């Protein structure tokens, strides 16, 4: 018990000069200073006791955060500048002690790193991330967090990519880590293309045709995926300039990254490691969200080719995505949609031959109906509407689905309202 008391007294004595300064500047009166000292004494005894819990540190941090916010408001009211950063240093100190004592508690670690981010202390965030990743290298969510922070806050894609690749050494069986790695690369390319459009440089070379994907990714001796690279310097990320100059962005026309080489390389490596169709489908759906990337269709075709070659042809989810792929990213009101939908119909006929009139067959038809019905809610060209309805009718006749009539009635009602 004496040890706990001695530690509490030691930490309280270190805060005495700060409290005296606050009283001298009349930020807090003598009674309030006494109350602060008592509360800190209570918290210090709790966190230094043998039976302390992470929640004790959390409550201590919450109290100090509220106290510091009150101190800053009062200093602003009396016209004093807050230059000591005593509240920030004290909270950092408490969280550092908490994470040293409860190294396995990820909640405390995330509270620590989030507080450092809120204080815009990049050096402290980097230090905390290094510590937490050394202690918990098999937690994929931590590698994802570190990479996203590096990309969003620092704009350093090279470091973010390094986090992802190092994470995959420890978590090579993590679906989420592979998917987030590819998402990060696609977001990066999307940012590059957005900047090119702003500068009027959007005259990219055509991406490679479907069926001619770039060379497969290979792992180096260090077990790192070999990827085509776009450096931070090429686009102005990570440097002091507000924007990369025109010449640097024009060089990207010849970079294979803009043709989908990186996400395809990540997919190939991930699919080789996992061999999971669920991973391939999730990867497909993730790429399908990036509707404005010119490499989207090439990447989706590559995913389908690799997956269909290694999977059962009668799989309903995979067959549906094979049918849907030509129309992804194309508005139903676009002049290109009828031709794309025609390609989907051709693929549907091929897929139906491999589907049997059993549970897989019904699942495939359900996917198709759920895909077509929302189109019928739009104000369509009469010929296109007729084509959609003719496609839907045989699917409806051969598939007994609960609630299908309600969905179709809703589509017809919306169509009637628009005409009225």
Written as one string, the DSSP assignment of 373-404 is HHHHTS---HHHHHHHHHHHHHHHHT---TTH
- Residue 312: the pLDDT is 65
- Residue 82: the pLDDT is 65
- Residue 366: the pLDDT is 87
Same domain, 342 and 411: yes
Q: Which of 108, 136, 164 is the last residue of a domain?
A: 136
Question: In Å, what is the CA distance from 225 to each residue of 124, 159, 249, 306, 392?
Answer: 29, 15, 25, 18, 44
Same domain, 258 and 293: yes
Q: How many other C-beta atoms lie within 10 A of the C-beta of residue 378?
A: 17
| Within-domain flag for 175 | yes
- What phi, psi does 219 have (nearest 5°)? -90, 135
Task: Name which of 226, 294, 305, 304 is nearest 266 in CA terms.
Answer: 226
- What phi, psi does 225 have (nearest 5°)? -65, 130
| Within-domain flag for 299 | yes
| Within-domain flag for 316 | no
**Which of the 8 DSSP states describes residue 137?**
T
| Within-domain flag for 286 | yes
- Residue 213: the pLDDT is 41
Task: Name which of 271, 270, 265 is nearest 298 in CA terms.
Answer: 265
Q: Which of 260, 287, 311 is the last residue of a domain?
A: 311
Same domain, 107 and 5: yes
CA distance 108 to 104: 9
- Counted domains in the chain: 3
Same domain, 236 and 361: no
Same domain, 130 and 182: no
Q: What angle do CA 137, 141, 147 make, to 5 degrees?
A: 85
Contact predicate 348/316, CB 8 Å: no
User: Could you state, in chain order, the average pLDDT of each consecutive group of 10 residues for the chain (420 residues)?
Assistant: 80 89 89 94 93 95 94 86 74 95 95 94 94 96 96 91 95 95 92 80 47 40 47 43 46 66 92 91 94 88 89 78 92 91 88 58 84 89 89 71 48 47
Same domain, 167 and 258: yes
How many CA atoms within 13 Å lie on the side-chain side of 249? 22
Q: Which of 311, 334, 360 is the last residue of a domain?
A: 311
Task: Name which of 215, 129, 217, 231 is nearest 178 in CA terms.
Answer: 217
| Within-domain flag for 113 | yes
Per DSSP, what are the bridge partners of residue 219? 225
Query: At 14, is the secondary structure helix, strand, or coil?
Result: helix
- Residue 3: the pLDDT is 80
| Within-domain flag for 317 | no
Same domain, 22 and 153: no
Domain that residue 115 falls in: 1-136
Angle between helices 296-310 and 316-324 (to 10 degrees): 150
């Amino acid at each position: 018990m004496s040890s706990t008391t001695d530690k509490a007294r030691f930490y309280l004595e270190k805060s005495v000069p700060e409290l005296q300064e606050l009283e001298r500047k009349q930020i807090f009166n003598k009674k309030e200073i006494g109350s602060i000292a008592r509360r800190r004494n209570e918290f210090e005894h709790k966190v230094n006791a043998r039976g302390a819990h992470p929640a004790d540190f959390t409550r201590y941090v919450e109290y100090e955060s509220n106290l510091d916010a009150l101190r800053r408001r009062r200093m602003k009211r009396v016209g004093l500048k807050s230059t000591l950063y005593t509240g920030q240093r004290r909270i950092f100190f408490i969280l550092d002690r908490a994470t040293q004592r409860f190294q396995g508690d990820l909640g405390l670690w995330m509270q620590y790193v989030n507080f450092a981010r809120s204080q815009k202390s990049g050096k402290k965030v980097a230090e905390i991330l290094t510590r937490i990743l050394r202690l918990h290298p098999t937690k994929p969510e931590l590698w994802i967090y570190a990479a996203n922070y590096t990309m969003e806050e620092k704009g350093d894609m090279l470091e973010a990519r390094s986090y992802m690749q190092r994470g995959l050494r420890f978590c090579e069986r993590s679906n989420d880590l592979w998917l987030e790695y590819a998402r990060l690369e696609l977001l990066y390319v999307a940012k590059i293309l957005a900047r090119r459009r702003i500068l009027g440089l959007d005259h990219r070379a055509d991406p490679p045709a479907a069926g001619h994907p770039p060379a497969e990714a290979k792992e180096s001796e260090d077990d790192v995926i070999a990827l085509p690279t776009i450096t931070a310097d090429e686009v102005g990320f990570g440097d002091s300039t507000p924007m990369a100059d025109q010449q640097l962005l024009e060089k990207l026309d010849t970079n294979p990254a803009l043709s989908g080489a990186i996400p395809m390389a990540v997919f190939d490596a991930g699919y080789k490691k996992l061999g999971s169709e669920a991973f391939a489908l999730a990867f497909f759906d993730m790429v399908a969200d990036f509707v404005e990337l010119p490499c989207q269709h090439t990447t989706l075709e590559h995913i389908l080719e690799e997956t269909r070659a290694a999977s059962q042809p009668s799989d309903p989810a995979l067959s549906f995505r094979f049918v849907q792929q030509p129309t992804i990213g194309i508005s139903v009101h676009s002049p290109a949609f009828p031709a794309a939908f025609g390609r989907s119909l051709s693929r549907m006929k091929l897929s139906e031959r491999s589907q049997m009139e059993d549970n897989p067959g019904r699942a495939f038809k359900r996917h198709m109906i759920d895909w077509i019905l929302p189109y019928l809610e739009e104000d369509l060209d009469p010929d296109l509407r007729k084509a959609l309805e003719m496609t839907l009718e045989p699917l409806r006749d051969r598939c007994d689905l609960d609630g299908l009539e309600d969905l179709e009635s809703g589509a017809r009602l919306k169509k009637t309202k628009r005409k009225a």
